[in-house]
């Protein structure tokens, strides 16, 4: 078990290195010279030269990469070329906001998707099943920005129930924070809830046909226990794995959702950095995201094994 | 003249299970296909009834219907009565039936490899059956499970309690299923081909284990099998099924000494030929008709060497041909035809 996790982490390391090289190279290939941005209106050649030296931009690329990677390993992703704030600091400030949004969206998706999927499978072919399936199709096909704007119009503008924007940090006021986050979380989690429902439904349908479910009934267990213990426990194995992977997608979706609801999170950080050609910030953010994805994949693999006794006890 | 070895058995006591006119159909898309028809038998306390017949004749469906475990929909009981300890099971609420299952009546399935839940330990799964019906603490249930594992001769029982099904062989898993089925001391044990999926070498072990535990607990057993050797060894009564119907029902002695239905005779592997000599037959030629294309008359007619035109007109009813011996063949008893022809 531990050796499996160890091996899995070892496999992840080359991936991280490749990703970092890719991120680094991509930056170099992008059009626009950040030094010109920094040098200001006059573009004094001496200043430009000094800046280039300061940021090691005259060294050969592999040297630049190693220097950058070495610093990155120590948690130093450089400073924003624009504001001089350490990139790591920016990430530390913004990431929790996005993680909160994504976590809320995930909770919402799990709380809706799994029970709905279980019900749809247990009552297969019923009005409930068709209703849930149709709703899921709607949830998957409606674009986030459209749903977001629709909700802002209905709930904020027409009904005036929740604010459309005006993020309040969690540390300031929990209730105010939740008021501003609940709508974005719903918008972001909507598609995930739909796909969780579909995955849960199909996993449950597969499991309910198994002989061991019949054995559970043969023991005299009542239906709720047969379904929630014997069937769901097995159906959750693939669902949890897929859910972990979809959490990555959720983070990507957060970029757009944050724009709609003007939440100052990771998404806003990325968008601003790209528009300002703030290289070091973009690099740091992309690297951080990529490592996050790899970690999620790792987690999904590990969870799959942890939840599956057939793989766990070998 | 009384039968030679007719050991005077005590008159069968009151039946613990009696099935009357049971019919099961597959319902779907406006069509109804009859899979089991008009099955009747009864089983007395502590006795063993063997249900015999070729693959697909409806043995499992019959036993699942008794347990209340038919996959419904699409399968459904269309007619019939199932009395267990005098109670009409079909009239009971789902809750009352669940209270009987796993306690008073239990079942061992045909598929030991897939019948245990891969996500829970052996100990959990047996203890769960105890706690469901007998209550008590988890420790008591676990102790009961351990005791049962020892009774089904699982080596290193203590260690096995915390193992998962995939760590066990098929034979061991079937022992677990047996332990689970007998842990609450049922009055009726249904064993659906408990050894078919196992290695030949352990079939006999499992069978004698089931047999021994059945005798220890004094429960009645409905044993489904297509192995006539097993029937001869363990059965008190035998019911032979063909294509969803019972074609012959008798004591084990009568079935072997004096089979009346041509299908039963064919199953025995020897068929009295019309010339009076005995011929060995490996299998009965032909195959079972598909449920949707059942002949109108006797279902065995297309394969029956004794078929006469009258056989294809109406289904022969199950009639008594001798005391306690019933057969569904219009030409039974057959000997007279065989001797007449000779
Ligand atoms: N869930 C189901 N849906 C459709 N048909 C079924 C279903 N279960 C059983 N049948 C059909 O019912 C008939 C009887 O099946 P059953 O499982 O009772 O046979 P069996 O006598 O137990 O055979 P075997 O010796 O192979 O176990 C078969 O023709 C089978 O195809
Ligand atoms: S009724 Fe006719 S066809 Fe059917 S078993 Fe008897 S002899 Fe054969
Ligand atoms: Mg069967």
* Centre of ligand 1 from the C-alpha of residue B111, in Å: 14
* Centre of ligand 3 from the C-alpha of residue A211, in Å: 13
Token representation of residue B7: 């050991």
With 0-12 / 13-18 / 19 or more C-beta atoms within 10 angstroms meaning exposed / middle / buried, residue A92 is exposed
Please name the residue ranges forming H helices in chain A.
2-29, 34-39, 45-54, 61-73, 87-122, 127-141, 144-151, 174-208, 211-218, 223-225, 232-260, 266-275, 279-307, 309-312
Question: In this structure, what are the phi and psi dihedrals at residue B327, rounded to the nearest 5 degrees?
Answer: -145, 145
A chain contacts of residue B106, beta-carbon cutoff 8 Å? 218
Q: Across A205-219, B221-235, B279-293, which has the greatest mean pLDDT?
A: A205-219
DSSP letters, B37-54, are EEEEEEEETT-EEEEE--
Say which ligand is closest to the CA of B245. 1
- Spatial distance between the Cα atoms of B240 and B246, rounded to a whole number of angstroms: 6
- Spatial distance between the Cα atoms of A296 and A300, rounded to a whole number of angstroms: 6
CA-to-CA dists, residue B17 to B63, B162, B324, angstroms: 12, 36, 17
Q: What is the pTM of this model?
A: 0.83
Give the residue with greater pLDDT, B30 vs A30.
B30
pLDDT tens string B111-141: 989 999 999 999 999 999 999 999 889 999 9
Does A116 lie in the same domain as A60? Answer: no
pLDDT of residue B280: 42
Q: Taking the CB of residue B326, how many other CB atoms lie within 10 A of it? A: 21
Closest by Cα among B52, B23, B26, B25 to B39: B23
CB proximity A236 to B under 8 Å: no
Q: What is the CATH number of domain B17-235?
A: 3.40.50.300
> Please, are residues A117 and A200 in contact by the beta-carbon 8 Å criterion?
yes
B chain contacts of residue A219, beta-carbon cutoff 8 Å? 101-102, 128-129, 132, 180
Are A313 and B107 within 8 A, CB to CB? no
CB proximity A199 to B under 8 Å: no
Mean pLDDT of chain B, nearest integer: 86
User: Could you tell me the pLDDT band of residue B12, with boundaries at 50, 70 and 90?
Assistant: low
CB proximity B149 to A under 8 Å: no
pLDDT of residue B337: 56
Q: Which helix (H) or strand (E) holds B210?
A: helix B200-217
In a domain, A80, yes or no: no
In a domain, A83, yes or no: no
- Spatial distance between the Cα atoms of B168 and A179, rounded to a whole number of angstroms: 54
Which atom, in ligand 1's list, is nearest to the CA of B226? 25
CA angle A5, A8, A11 (to 5 degrees): 155
Alpha carbon of B214: minimum distance to chain A alpha carbons (Å): 18
Which atom, in ligand 2's list, is nearest to the CA of B262? 5
B chain contacts of residue A210, beta-carbon cutoff 8 Å? 114
In a domain, A137, yes or no: yes
State whether residue A140 is helix, strand or coil.
helix
Q: Which of the listed residues A73, A108, A132 is the one where a domain comes to its end?
A: A73
State whether residue A197 is helix, strand or coil.
helix
State whether residue B23 is helix, strand or coil.
strand
* Centre of ligand 2 from the C-alpha of residue B246, in Å: 13
Nearest CA to ligand 2 atom 6: B329
State whether residue A111 is helix, strand or coil.
helix
- HSE-CB at B104 with a 13 A cutoff on CA atoms is 15
pLDDT tens string B33-56: 889 999 999 999 889 999 998 888
**Interface with chain A: mutation pick from B117, B170, B176, highest number of A CBs within 10 Å:** B117
B chain contacts of residue A215, beta-carbon cutoff 8 Å? 109, 115-117, 177, 180
* Centre of ligand 3 from the C-alpha of residue B64, in Å: 10
Q: Any idea what the CATH number is for the domain that residue A201 is in? A: 1.10.3720.10
In a domain, A262, yes or no: yes
- Spatial distance between the Cα atoms of B237 and B46, rounded to a whole number of angstroms: 12
- Spatial distance between the Cα atoms of A56 and A49, rounded to a whole number of angstroms: 10
The residue of chain A nearest to residue B96, with distances taken between CA atoms, is A220
- Spatial distance between the Cα atoms of A280 and A77, rounded to a whole number of angstroms: 7
- Ligand 1 pocket, residue B308 CB under 6 Å: no
Are A218 and B106 within 8 A, CB to CB? yes
| Nearest-10 crossing angle of helices B138-151, B170-182 | 120
- Ligand 1 pocket, residue B57 CB under 6 Å: yes
Does A111 lie in the same domain as A66? Answer: no
> Please, are residues A307 and A240 in contact by the beta-carbon 8 Å criterion?
yes
Does A21 lie in the same domain as A124? Answer: no
Q: Which of the listed residues A37, A58, A73 is the one where a domain comes to its end?
A: A73
- Ligand 2 pocket, residue B243 CB under 6 Å: no
Q: Which of the listed residues A22, A40, A73 is the one where a domain comes to its end?
A: A73
Q: Which residue among B69, B94, B164 sits closest to A218, beta carbon to beta carbon? A: B69
- Spatial distance between the Cα atoms of B50 and B240, rounded to a whole number of angstroms: 8
Q: What does DSSP assign to residue B195? A: T
| pLDDT tens sequence for chain A (314 residues) | 778 888 888 888 888 889 888 888 877 776 666 676 666 677 778 877 887 777 777 778 888 888 878 888 888 887 887 888 898 899 898 888 999 999 999 999 999 999 999 999 999 888 988 988 888 888 888 888 888 888 888 888 888 888 877 788 888 888 888 888 899 999 999 989 999 999 999 999 999 999 999 999 999 999 999 999 999 999 999 998 888 888 888 888 888 888 888 888 888 888 888 888 887 788 888 888 888 889 988 888 888 888 888 887 65
Does A102 lie in the same domain as A64? Answer: no
Closest by Cα among B100, B155, B148 to B125: B148
CB proximity A210 to B under 8 Å: yes
**Structural domain span for residue A18:** 2-73
Structurally, chain A folds into a number of domains equal to 2
Does A116 lie in the same domain as A38? Answer: no
Does A102 lie in the same domain as A31? Answer: no
In a domain, A81, yes or no: no
Q: Taking the CB of residue A111, how many other CB atoms lie within 10 A of it? A: 13
Are A218 and B67 within 8 A, CB to CB? yes
- Spatial distance between the Cα atoms of A161 and A16, rounded to a whole number of angstroms: 45
- Ligand 1 pocket, residue B144 CB under 6 Å: no
- Spatial distance between the Cα atoms of A132 and A198, rounded to a whole number of angstroms: 9
* Centre of ligand 2 from the C-alpha of residue B37, in Å: 17
Are B101 and A219 within 8 A, CB to CB? yes
* Centre of ligand 2 from the C-alpha of residue B269, in Å: 17
Out of B264, B321, B329, B336, give the residue to mutate to test ligand 2, the one with the largest number of ligand atoms within 8 Å of its CB: B329
With 0-12 / 13-18 / 19 or more C-beta atoms within 10 angstroms meaning exposed / middle / buried, residue A290 is middle
pLDDT of residue A206: 95
In a domain, A296, yes or no: yes
A-contacting residues in B 77-106 (Cβ below 8 Å): 94-95, 98-103, 106
- Spatial distance between the Cα atoms of A35 and A109, rounded to a whole number of angstroms: 44
Does A282 lie in the same domain as A239? Answer: yes
Does A111 lie in the same domain as A45? Answer: no
- Spatial distance between the Cα atoms of A30 and A48, rounded to a whole number of angstroms: 19
CA-based Rg of chain B, rounded to a whole angstrom?
21
- Ligand 2 pocket, residue B330 CB under 6 Å: yes
Calculate the dihedral angle through the C-alpha atoms of B281, B282, B284, B288, rounding to the nearest 10 degrees.
170
**Interface with chain B: mutation pick from A124, A219, A230, highest number of B CBs within 10 Å:** A219
- Ligand 2 pocket, residue B240 CB under 6 Å: no
CA-to-CA dists, residue B226 to A294, B50, B260, B282, B299, angstroms: 55, 9, 18, 14, 19
Closest by Cα among B172, B177, B179 to B109: B177
Are A313 and B163 within 8 A, CB to CB? yes
Does A153 lie in the same domain as A14? Answer: no
> Please, are residues B299 and B243 in contact by the beta-carbon 8 Å criterion?
yes
The residue of chain A nearest to residue B100, with distances taken between CA atoms, is A220
Q: Is the peptide bond before B74 cis (omega within 30 degrees of 0)?
A: yes
- Spatial distance between the Cα atoms of A65 and A29, rounded to a whole number of angstroms: 14
- Ligand 2 pocket, residue B311 CB under 6 Å: yes
CB proximity B256 to A under 8 Å: no
Does A107 lie in the same domain as A32? Answer: no
Strands of the sheet with B31-44, listed across from one edge: B31-44, B15-28, B75-84, B87-88
Domain ranges within chain B, ordered by starting residue: 17-235, 252-337
- Mean of pLDDT values over B103-117: 93
Token representation of residue B308: 């006469």
CB proximity B69 to A under 8 Å: yes
Q: Pairing mode, if any, of strands B220-225 and B188-192?
A: parallel
Say which ligand is closest to the CA of B69. 1
> Please, are residues B151 and B68 in contact by the beta-carbon 8 Å criterion?
no
pLDDT of residue B28: 80
Are B164 and A313 within 8 A, CB to CB? yes
Does A178 lie in the same domain as A51? Answer: no
Does A10 lie in the same domain as A121? Answer: no
- Ligand 2 pocket, residue B301 CB under 6 Å: yes
């Amino acid at each position: 078990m531990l050796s499996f996790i160890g091996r899995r982490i070892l496999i992840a390391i080359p991936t991280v290195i490749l990703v970092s090289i890719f991120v680094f190279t991509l930056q170099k290939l992008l059009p626009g010279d950040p030094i010109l941005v920094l040098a200001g209106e006059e573009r004094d050649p001496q200043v430009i030269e000094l800046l280039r030296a300061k940021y090691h931009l005259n060294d050969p690329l592999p040297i630049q990469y190693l220097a950058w990677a070495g610093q990155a390993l120590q948690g130093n992703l450089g400073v924003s070329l624009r504001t001089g704030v350490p990139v790591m600091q920016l990430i530390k400030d913004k990431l929790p906001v996005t993680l909160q949004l994504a976590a809320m969206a995930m909770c919402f998706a799990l709380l809706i998707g799994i029970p709905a999927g279980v019900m749809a499978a247990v009552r297969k072919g019923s009005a409930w099943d068709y209703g849930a399936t149709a709703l899921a199709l709607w949830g998957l096909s409606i674009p986030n920005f459209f749903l977001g704007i629709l909700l802002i119009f209905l709930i904020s503008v027409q009904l005036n129930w929740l604010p459309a924007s005006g993020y309040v940090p969690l540390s300031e006021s929990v209730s105010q924070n939740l008021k501003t986050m609940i709508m974005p979380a719903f918008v972001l989690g909507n598609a995930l809830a739909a796909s969780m429902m579909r995955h849960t439904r199909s996993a449950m349908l597969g499991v309910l046909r198994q002989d061991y479910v019949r054995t559970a009934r043969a023991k005299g267990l009542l239906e709720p226990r047969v379904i929630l213990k014997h069937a769901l426990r097995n159906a959750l194995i693939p669902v949890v794995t897929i859910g972990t992977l979809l959490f990555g997608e959720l983070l990507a979706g957060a970029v757009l959702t944050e724009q709609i609801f003007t939440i100052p999170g990771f998404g806003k950080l990325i968008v601003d950095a790209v528009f300002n050609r703030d290289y070091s910030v973009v690099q740091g953010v992309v690297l951080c995201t990529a490592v996050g994805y790899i970690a999620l994949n790792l987690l999904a693999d590990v969870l799959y094994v942890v939840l599956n006794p057939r793989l766990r006890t070998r | 003249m009384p039968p030679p070895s007719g050991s005077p058995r005590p008159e069968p006591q009151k039946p613990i299970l009696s099935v009357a006119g049971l019919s099961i159909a597959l319902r779907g898309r406006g069509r109804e296909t009859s899979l089991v028809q008009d099955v009747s038998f009864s089983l007395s306390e502590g006795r063993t009834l063997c249900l015999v017949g070729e693959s697909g004749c409806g043995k499992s469906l019959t036993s699942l219907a008794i347990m209340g475990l038919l996959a419904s929909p699409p399968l459904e009981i269309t007619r019939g009565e199932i009395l267990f300890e005098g109670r009409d099971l079909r009239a009971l609420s789902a809750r009352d039936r669940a209270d009987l299952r796993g306690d008073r009546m239990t079942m061992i399935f045909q598929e030991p490899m897939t019948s245990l839940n891969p996500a829970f330990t052996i100990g959990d799964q047996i203890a769960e059956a105890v706690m469901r019906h007998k209550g008590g603490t988890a420790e008591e249930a676990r102790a009961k499970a351990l005791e049962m594992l020892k009774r089904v001769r699982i080596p290193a029982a203590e260690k096995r309690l915390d193992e998962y099904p995939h760590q066990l062989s098929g034979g061991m898993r079937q022992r677990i299923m047996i332990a689970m089925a007998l842990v609450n001391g049922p009055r009726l044990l249904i064993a659906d081909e408990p050894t078919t999926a196992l290695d030949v070498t352990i079939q006999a072990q499992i069978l004698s284990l089931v047999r021994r535990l059945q005798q220890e607990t004094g429960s009645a057993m409905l044993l489904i099998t297509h192995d006539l050797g097993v029937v001869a060894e363990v059965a008190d009564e035998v019911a032979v099924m063909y294509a969803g119907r019972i074609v012959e029902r008798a004591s084990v002695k009568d079935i072997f000494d004096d089979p009346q239905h041509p299908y039963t005779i064919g199953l025995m592997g020897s068929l009295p030929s019309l010339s009076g000599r005995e011929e060995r037959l490996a299998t009965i030629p032909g195959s079972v008709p598909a449920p949707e294309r059942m002949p109108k008359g006797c279902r065995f007619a297309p394969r029956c060497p004794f078929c006469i035109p009258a056989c294809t007109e109406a289904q022969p009813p199950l009639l008594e041909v001798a005391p306690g011996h019933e057969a569904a063949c219009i030409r039974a008893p057959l000997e007279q035809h065989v001797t007449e022809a000779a």
